[in-house]
Amino acid sequence: MTSKLLNEIVEKIRKELKGKGILACSGGTDSSVLAVASKLAVGDQILSIFVDTGLIREGERERVELFFKKFGINYKILDESKLFFEKLKGIVDPETKRKVIGQTFIELFEREAKLSEAEFLLQGTIAPDWIESGGKNRDTIKSHHNVGGLPEKMNLKLIEPLRDLYKDDVRELSEELGLNTSLQPFPGPGLAVRVIGEITGEKVEILKKVTRIVEEEIESSMKPENRPWQYFAVILPVRTTGVHGDKRSYGNTVAIRAIDSTDAMTGTFHKFEWDFLEELSTKITNEVPSVNRVVLDITDKPPATIEWE
Amino acid sequence: MKIYVVDNGGQWTHKEWKVLKKLGVDSEIVDNDINFEEIKDSDGWVLSGGAPSITNEIPKLGRISEILDKTSVPVFGICIGAQFMALHFKGEVRASPIPEFGKTKVNFFNQGGIFKEIPSEIVVWENHNDEILSISDDFKICSNSKNCKVQAFYSDKKSMFGVQFHPEVENTQYGTEMFKSFIEYCRR
């Protein structure tokens, strides 16, 4: 017996979708719930699309493809890392990064919509996204790309069935549908907002390795319910001196960000044990030699946001 | 029973609506520049937080003064909502010499109104660049912090209540209790 909430979502999709639709699926909790709900609602009438921007974590693409297969979802994977890196060349301002990425996503989806003759785009936008995107009175804290980045003249009709739901509502749906519920939230623009300053292939590769180490160390030492709401790394445009085996080095700095929250609206930085932090830092600097300094972000939200950009 | 949340653009306005829903009350978010007299079924008003500065961006607070002048039902002002109430009833507001963000300890004293059950010291969540210095004497100040003299005030007579901090986020202790007490006032 499906829950009232799931039925509402399924009905909304059936009511609003006319003809074919495409669905922006990042493999995160929100869009995955939407992809499975859409399969229940209208089967293969919707094509779920995962865009490999090159700004995603190690193994992300493989994980998402497994998810599509496991739930029998009609899917397509776009390999567009070259395009995104070109579009982001030389861009430093965070809001511009988000807008450029958002627009590139939309251009890709418009192209794919034409290919599959779909007029509708389904997106997993949930309540906190549209709050932070600045409405009439709200200050634009950060335009979440799946809302803020939408160019005005988008000729795809948008369906956002999760628009009034909070993270905890979506988690309930995720449990009901048998999805992996211990996925931490991952931003739409991906690692682009965790490379502070200009994005280069080299920095992204470093960040991917450090991110994997942070996730592995935390996920292997903590049960899902004890893990921070979000835990990740940020690579800073700061080089500092180091000494590697009696040789002077001039390496990269990464920051660890781990925050406790229930719905991302507020948060307190996670208080790790000192020994855990020392092991984590040593593992990072050993396995990623170009990083010779690891710092910890100890700022709550507010005044800081969870992500750095 | 319906309590309206008047939206001054705060990032947690949606949460104020959600807390009321969770406490079993019908609620609706309305913009702050509508004609409030058209709303006949309100049993209470929550004036949300928001980004405008009380010191020079009053126009962004639309027509909420009409609520304070004409309403006969309880009003609960949060952050800039409370600052506007203070200013409206001849109080003083200013830019905070020391703004407060995130976790903050506040003291409560001569507790009354919706704050009757609040202990003498709690942890709250702050997010403000401006503050209240004083408020007219038909209101009672009942909370302060090290850096901010007026953290909460109430008037039983007017059944109006104000808080500088954010009871709608779970990081604020006793925040839900304050909403519960406010709902009781709206039921009278």
User: What pLDDT is attached to residue A127?
Assistant: 79
Using alpha carbons, select from B6, B173, B157 the residue that is nearest to residue B76. B6
> Does B12 sit within 8 Å of A265, measured CB to CB?
yes
Contacts of A78 (CB under 8 A, 6+ apart): A49, A50, A51, A52, A108, A112
Span B134-143, pLDDT tens digits = 999 999 999 9
- Give the DSSP H or E segment for B121: strand B121-134
| Residues from chain A contacting residue B125 (CB–CB below 8 Å) | 266
For residue range B33-45, list pLDDT tens digits in order. 999 999 999 999 9
Distance between CA atoms of residues A276 and A217, nearest Å: 9
- Partner B contacted by A300 (CB < 8 A): yes
CA A25, CA A123: separation in Å to the nearest integer? 8
**Which chain B residues contact residue A301 at CB under 8 A?**
102
Going from N- to C-terminal start, the domains of chain A cover 4-177, 201-296
Q: Report domain B2-187's class.
A: alpha beta
Query: What is the ipTM score, two decimals?
Result: 0.89
Task: Give the pLDDT mean for B64-68.
Answer: 95
Residue A135 Cα, gap to closest chain B Cα (Å): 8
pLDDT band at B31 (very low <50, low <70, confident <90, very high): very high
Mean of pLDDT values over B68-86: 97
Query: What is the value of pTM for the model shown?
Result: 0.88
Chain B CB contacts of A305 under 8 Å are: none
Contact A132 B11 (CB under 8 A): yes
Domain positions in chain B: 2-187
> Contact B11/A265, CB-based, under 8 Å?
yes
Q: Annotated catalytic residue: which of B79, B142, B148, B186?
A: B79
Catalytic residue among B100, B126, B131, B168: B168
Gap between the Cα atoms of A50 and A105, Å rounded:
10
Listed as own residue / partner, the contacts of A133-136 with beta carbons closer than 8 Å and 24 or more positions apart are A135/B9, A136/B9, A136/B31
Buried b (16+ CB within 10 A) or exposed e, A232-261: bbbbbeeeeebeeeeeeeebbbbbbbbbbb
**Per-residue pLDDT tens listing for chain A (309 residues):** 889 999 999 999 999 999 999 999 999 999 999 999 999 999 999 999 999 999 999 999 999 999 999 999 999 999 999 999 999 999 999 999 999 999 999 899 999 999 999 999 999 988 765 565 555 556 555 555 444 445 555 678 999 999 888 877 898 999 999 999 888 988 889 999 999 999 999 999 999 999 999 999 999 999 999 999 999 999 999 999 998 888 888 999 999 999 999 888 899 999 999 999 999 999 999 999 999 999 999 999 999 999 999
Pairwise CB contact (< 8 Å): A131 & B14: yes
Domain A201-296: CATH class, spelled out: alpha beta
Structure-derived torsion over alpha carbons of residues A172, A178, A183, A186, reported in degrees to the nearest 10: -80
Nearest to A262 among B31, B32, B170 (CB): B170
Please say if B166 is a catalytic residue. Answer: yes
**End-to-end Cα spacing for chain B:** 11
* A19: region left, alpha or beta (phi > 0 left; psi from -120 to 50 alpha): left
Q: How far is B11 from chain A (nearest CA, A)?
A: 6
The answer to whether the CB atoms of B9 and A262 lie below 8 A apart is: no
**Token pair belonging to A132:** 């932070």
> In B, what residues contact A, Cβ < 8 A?
7-15, 18, 31-32, 50-52, 60, 101-103, 125, 127, 169-171
> Is B88 one of the catalytic residues?
no
pLDDT attached to residue A148: 42
Give the chain A residue nearest B169 (alpha carbons). A266
Three-class SS state of B6: strand
Closest CA to B88 of B49, B154, B42, B135: B135
Q: Is A271 on the interface with B (CB under 8 A)?
A: no
Continuous segment of H or E residues that includes residue B147: none
The whole-angstrom separation of Cα A175 and Cα A296 is: 32
pLDDT recorded at residue A130? 58
Please state the rounded mean pLDDT for residues B7-24.
92
- What is the dotted CATH code of the domain comprising A4-177? 3.40.50.620
Cα–Cα separations (whole angstroms), residue A108 to A19, A50, A51? 20, 11, 9
Query: Which residue among A137, A139, A141 places its CB closest to the CB of B7?
Result: A137
Binding-site residues from annotation of A for ATP: 26-32
User: Do strands A118-122 and A20-24 pair parallel, antiparallel, or not at all (unpaired)?
Assistant: parallel
Q: What average pLDDT does chain B have?
A: 96
Q: Decide which of B103 and A1 is more confident.
A: B103
**DSSP-derived pairing of the beta strands A157-159 and A247-260:** unpaired
Whole-number Å distance between alpha carbons of A1 and A96: 45
